[in-house]
Chains A and B, each alone.
Chain A
C-alpha cells in the first residue's frame, strides 16, 4: 500500500509529505508561532479528560444500574442502604443454583472440547500448505459468517429424532460446533508465531510429529490456548438463541434462559431480576479483570463468531 505518500481516498499527496515549496515555507513560518504537538496535547488534556469522563459515565450507566438495583433492599424489606437481600432471596426462591450449575457444566465442557479439537487442527492450518488445507481454511472462514438460525432449524429436526432435544448435551454439542471455525483460526494464528525450527530440532532428536506438537508447540502456546478458551467460554456462556430453541424444561435451563423466563414472570421486582443478572455477568467480568489481555483477543474472536 502506498498510504504513506498519498491518500488512498483522494489520491492526492498528503499535506506535509510532498508539499509544494512555497506552501512549505509559509507553513513553516506559521508554525514557529504555533505550539508544538506535545504542548498542544498537554494543553487540552483536562478538556479531553472531561469529555471522556462524561462519555464513559453515560456508557456504563446501564451496567452500574444492574449492580445497584441488585444491591438495593428487597421489595417490602425494612433495610436501608446496600444489602445482599436480593441475592439471598434469589437463591431460596428460584432455581438460579440449577441454572448456574447447568451453565457451568455446558460452558466448561465446551471450552475443554473446543480447545482439544481446535489445537491440532490449528497446527495443521499453521504448518500445512497443501490445497486441501487452504480449502479448509476458506470453508472455516465462510462457516463463521453463517447465521446460527440456519443451522439451528435442521439440527432441531435431527436432534428431535434421536431424543436430544431438551438436554444439556444438545446445546453443548452445538456450542462446540459453533466455536470450531474461530477457535481453529485463533490457534493457527498463535502457532504461526512459533518458529518451525523449534519442532525441526525436536524431530532431529527423534520426536514424532505428535510429540513435537504437544511438547514443543503446545507447551509454548499458553496465551493462544487461553484466548481460544476465553472465546469458547464467552460463546457458550452468553448464547441465547441455541438455548431458547433446545432447552424446554426449567431443570435444564442455562442462565440466559433462566434469567429471561424469570424476568418475564417478575417484571416489576427489579431487585430480584437484577440479582440473577449480576450472577450471570460476574464470571465474564471476573475473567475480564484477571485475564484482560487474553480476554480482548478471545473477545474479538468471539465477535468474529457473531453475537
Chain B
C-alpha cells in the first residue's frame, strides 16, 4: 500500500509551497515575469471553480443564515434571530452532543482498530498481503451499499444479528429501534467504515520506524507495552496526530453513514449537526435555521483546519 502522495500532500502544507525553492536557478529569475502570467492562467480555471462552488456558497450561507427566506426566495434580513432560535432549541444541543460523542468514538475507535491491525500485519503472518487487501474493503465499498448491508444485518427482528442475540439468550434486541442501541450501532458502523483509513495511515508511518530500535529495546528487556508506548508511539506521533484531526473533520462532516442507517432516529437519538441541518432545510423547509446550523459548523471547521495547517507547518520547521 503506498500512501506516498497523500502523505506528500500533507508534507506540502508543512513546507509551504513546492519544492522549487532553493533549487531554482538564476536562469529562472529572468523568466519570472512571464512565469507569473502563465502561472495565473494555469490557476485561473481552478480559481473560478473554487470561488464559485466553494467560497461563494459559504459566504452566501452566512447571508442566508441572517434572513428568513426559503429555498426559492431570498427573504428579509432578520439579524441573529435564526441563531437565537437554533441555540434555544433542545434538538440542536442534543445533536451537538451526539456529534461530539460520534466524533470521539469514530476517531479513537477507528484509530485503535487501525493501529492494532497495522501492528499485527507488520509481523510475519502467512497470507499477509491477502489480509491487507481484504481489510480495506469496508472503505472501498460505496457507503450506500454498506449502509444497506448493515440494514439487512441489524434492522428488523428477523435480521441475522437480532436472531443471533435471541439465540444467545439476550431476548429481543432491536438495534435500530432502541435509541441507545441505535447510537452504538451508528458508532460501530462508523468505526467499521473508517478503520481502513487509519490502518493505511499508521502502516505507512510504521514503515519509517527503524526495526533495529526494537532489537535494541528487546535486548534491554523492554516489555511489549513499554516498546509500544515509549518507542513506537512517539515515532509515529506526528502522523497519528494528523490522522486524528483529519478523522475529526470526516466524522463531523459525515452525512450518509447516519442518514442512510437511521435517518437520525429513533426519536432523533442519532441526529448529528449535519443531519439536523439537512432535515431542517430539506424536510422541514426552514432554510434560515438550517443554514445557521451549517454555518456554525463551518466556522468551527475553518478554525480546526487552520490550526491543523499551522501545526503541520510548525512540525516541519522543528
Contacts and interface: CB of A to CB of B under 8 A. Distances in A.
A193 B31 CA distance: 22
B235 A190 contact: no
Interface string B5-35: 1101101110011111101110110010011
B165 to A, nearest CB: 15
B27, B31, B123, B254 pick with most chain A CB within 10 angstroms: B123
B169 interface: no
A270 B141 contact: no
B53 A173 contact: yes
A45 interface: yes
Interface stretch (A49-57, A71-79, A81-89, A90-98): A49-57
Nearest to A278: B145
A180 B294 contact: no
B302 A130 contact: no
Contacts of A181: 50, 54
Interface in B132-148: 133-146, 148
A189 B135 CA distance: 27
Contacts of B137: 59-60, 63, 285
B36 interface: yes
Given A15-B226, A129-B18, A196-B20, A149 B71 contact: no
Given A45-B124, A186-B9, A292-B133, A147 B274 contact: yes
B5 A16 contact: no
B277 interface: yes
Interface in B207-250: 213-222, 226-227, 229-231, 233-235, 237-238, 246, 249-250
A27 B254 contact: no
B28 A297 contact: no
B126 interface: yes
Contacts of B124: 41-42, 45
A120 B42 contact: yes
A200 interface: yes
A186 B4 CA distance: 10
Contacts of A42: 124
Interface string A4-27: 101111101011110100011011
Contacts of A36: 215, 218
A151 B9 CA distance: 24
Given A125-B18, A151-B53, A203-B27, A288 B140 contact: yes
A233 to B, nearest CB: 11
Contact of B294 (A147, A210, A213, A270): A147
A65 B6 CA distance: 32
Contacts, number: 419
A147 B252 contact: yes
B87 interface: no
A56 to B, nearest CB: 5
Contact of A143 (B11, B20, B50, B149): B50
A193 B8 contact: yes
Contacts of A136: 43, 47
A240 B256 CA distance: 7
A160 interface: yes
Contacts of A127: 18, 20, 39
A140 B55 CA distance: 10
* Secondary structure call for the B interface: helix
B268 interface: no
A137 interface: yes
Contacts of B138: 59-60, 62-63
A176 B49 contact: yes
* Secondary structure call for the A interface: helix
A280 B28 CA distance: 49
Given A142-B306, A150-B294, A177 B39 contact: no
A48 interface: yes
Contact of B39 (A124, A137, A223, A280): A124
A152 to B, nearest CB: 8
Given A121-B43, A189-B8, A277-B149, A1 B250 contact: no
Given A146-B301, A209-B35, A1 B238 contact: yes
B88 interface: no
A45 B9 contact: no
A129 B46 contact: no
A49 B120 CA distance: 9
A36 B217 CA distance: 11
A143 B18 contact: no
Contacts of B264: none
A64 to B, nearest CB: 9
A80 interface: no
Nearest to B252: A147
A174 interface: yes
Contacts of B267: none
11 contacts: A30-B221, A31-B221, A69-B152, A138-B309, A142-B309, A143-B54, A154-B58, A158-B57, A277-B148, A297-B6, A307-B193
Given A62-B153, A203-B31, 8 more contacts: A36-B215, A48-B125, A144-B305, A147-B277, A150-B295, A150-B297, A154-B57, A277-B144
What are the 9 tightest A-B residue pairs by CB atom distance, in nearest-first order? A177-B53, A27-B221, A16-B217, A189-B8, A120-B42, A16-B220, A300-B6, A121-B46, A145-B305
Interface of B: 1-6, 8-9, 11-13, 16-21, 23-25, 27-28, 31, 34-36, 38-39, 41-43, 45-47, 49-50, 52-58, 60-61, 64, 71-72, 74, 117, 120-121, 123-127, 131, 133-146, 148-153, 160, 192-193, 197, 200-201, 213-222, 226-227, 229-231, 233-235, 237-238, 246, 249-250, 252-257, 259-260, 274, 277-278, 281-282, 287, 290-291, 294-295, 297-298, 301-302, 304-306, 308-309, 315, 318
